[in-house]
Chains A and B, each alone.
Chain A
Amino acid sequence: MGARGNRAEREPGIVGNDRMGNGLEPVVSAPIPAQGVSIELDDVCLGFKGRQVVRNVSGRFSPASMTAIVGPNGAGKSTLIKGIMGVVKPVSGRVHVHGAQRNDLAWLPQAGELDRAFPITVLEMVAMGAWRRSGAWRRMTDEELDRVQHALALVGLKGSDHRIVGTLSGGQLQRVLFARLLMQDAQVLLLDEPFSAVDSHTTEELMQLLCHWHEQGRSVIAVLHDMDLVHEHFPRSLLLSGEVVAWGETAEVLTRENLKRARRMRDEQPA
């Protein structure tokens, strides 16, 4: 449930905006482990080429939690997400994923990290989300293709399957990434600035999807800059500025004092 009551629960009519009329059910209903999936960070330090970006982060993302990672630019938010996903190896410390394997986590990268000029269709890109089930070599089954169509309908891109990704707007690309996330059907979703360069209408629709997945018992961890969105939908927050400034209930973490301290810590960091 969101910090002020999840929007999905408050306005069920809005949630049911599935273009196929199937509701917001997951594409594949993988059983959610009874004990849930949790992620534990044990004194994790992350960095590149000799420069430490994230220092001594310890804490736990509980099963079925909804956490926003916030902080000033250069605070190491994206690096922390990549560290959890295993894309960046920790310089020291460890990331433990309890109740699942590392590649059971699903990641939505920043749109800027994609090569949008690469000629791939929407269908092919969304189908990448099925690799965990079908493997990267096997031919896509009709069942998986139906799931792709379902996922596209859920994010409002029905009929766009043969469009080239490079011709999509920023909001449409973000919807495609959400459809791929849907195909991954993971218990933990990590999203890196999922609403950047997206209009408020699209943000609202995609946020409803996130809330719905959270209601199904999935954990959502998202890097966000929009504090109103965080306060409205995310019960827990991690305020980061190279190291943890505060981690806990959103109302207690995102205080004026903590935010000021985070900015000061960022300014004091060596370039």
Chain B
Amino acid sequence: MMIHDWLIGPFLEFGFMRRALAGAWALAFGAAPLGVFLVLRRMSLMGDAMSHAILPGVAAGYLLAGLSLPAMMIGGVVTGLVVAFLAGLVARLTPLREDASFAAFYLISLGLGVLLVSLRGSNVDLLHVLFGTVLGLNDDALLLVTACASLTLVALALVYRLLVAECLDPGFLRATGGGGSLVHMVFLALVVVNLVAGFQVLGTLMVVGMMMLPAAAARFWALSAAGQISLACFIGVLASWAGLLVSYHLNVPASPAIILGAGLTYLISVVAGPHGGLLHTLRHNRQSAARLW
């Protein structure tokens, strides 16, 4: 009974906990699969860059319309896509590589975003944007994040094979008329939409944790892309549930608790994962050495 109360009780008792759990789970199902592709494409830091890139748009929406969810959402999506487009354009037209180009634009965006927030808002507003208010999710925010997760899963199902081809053999995709650039842009748009949807839940900075940590952890347990996607979603779900419980019982902020839950799973995976985990590698090296002798 005690364990049941500890694990399930808060969600049965309080609506805000149920909404927080639903929002975080929706985010896990939307963001974690995208994270798997970011990891597989060696673009892990791009999620971080994009999360900063949406900040000026969110801030501009906030400046123009106050704490209006649609205004901040539209602003975030627009600046995220503009930064993705400009970074891609600079990488194509100049010798600068895409990662450096992204870094330059996200730093400009971060500076602009903080400046815009400070023009009207307080430090408290900035903290809400950066770190989210998962325990204060209203119905509108919950609908938004679940709609974005549904859109992401449907879109990913439609472009899955093309996305795999774009990662594995981009030339083949272009040669067979598969529209490599279009697939890349759809993928980037999904990343932006999830980051914007997630800023209400975990904040613009923390949402990247839900995108990347479960994906990076899943890499140590599953070989296939489909297996990694399923596992990343499961890890995201587990981290959300555990993080919210820890937040409730120990009275600590919820967003960092959720991300730390995902981080703990990642650390365990690095050590114990059967595909490249430290223990596995150590055992494998020992066996190889024993065979040599």
Binding site for B on A (CB under 8 A): 49, 82, 85-87, 102-103, 105, 107, 109, 113-115, 117-121, 124-125, 128, 131-132, 136-137, 164-165
Contacts and interface: CB of A to CB of B under 8 A. Distances in A.
A158 to B, nearest CB: 21
B168 A49 contact: no
A102 B174 CA distance: 11
Contact of A109 (B94, B162, B172, B223): B172
6 contacts: A49-B92, A86-B174, A119-B228, A125-B168, A136-B178, A137-B158
Contacts of B161: 128, 131, 136-137
Given A86-B175, A109-B172, 5 more contacts: A85-B174, A115-B41, A128-B161, A131-B178, A132-B176
A113 B171 contact: yes
Contacts of B167: 115, 118
A49 B97 CA distance: 12
Contacts of A82: 171
A211 to B, nearest CB: 24
A49 B164 contact: no
A119 B172 contact: no
A109 B171 contact: yes
Contact of B165 (A49, A128, A164): A128
B168 A114 contact: yes
Nearest to B157: A137
A131 B176 contact: yes
B186 interface: no
A105 B93 CA distance: 29
Interface residues of B, number: 25
Interface of B: 40-41, 92-95, 158, 161-162, 164-165, 167-169, 171-172, 174-178, 223-225, 228
Given A131-B178, A137-B161, A118 B168 contact: yes
Contacts of B172: 107, 109, 128
Contacts, number: 67
B171 A121 contact: no
Nearest to A128: B165
- Residue with the greatest number of chain A CB neighbours at <10 A, chosen from B162, B223, B228: B223
Contacts of A86: 174-175
B93 A164 contact: no
A107 B172 CA distance: 7
B201 to A, nearest CB: 29
Contacts of B40: 117-119
Contacts of A109: 169, 171-172
A137 B162 CA distance: 9
B84 to A, nearest CB: 20
Contacts of A137: 158, 161
B225 A119 contact: yes
A102 B167 CA distance: 22
Contacts of A118: 40, 164, 167-168, 225
- Residue with the greatest number of chain A CB neighbours at <10 A, chosen from B94, B169, B223: B169
Given A114-B169, A118-B40, A136 B175 contact: no
Nearest to B165: A128
B93 A49 contact: yes
A120 B171 contact: no
Contacts of A132: 176
Q: Which 10 A-B pairs have the closest CB atoms?
A: A103-B177, A85-B175, A118-B168, A87-B174, A136-B161, A107-B175, A109-B171, A114-B169, A119-B223, A118-B167
A118 B164 CA distance: 8
A22 to B, nearest CB: 26
Contacts of B95: 49
B164 A103 contact: no
A129 to B, nearest CB: 9
A236 B53 CA distance: 54
Contacts of B165: 128, 136
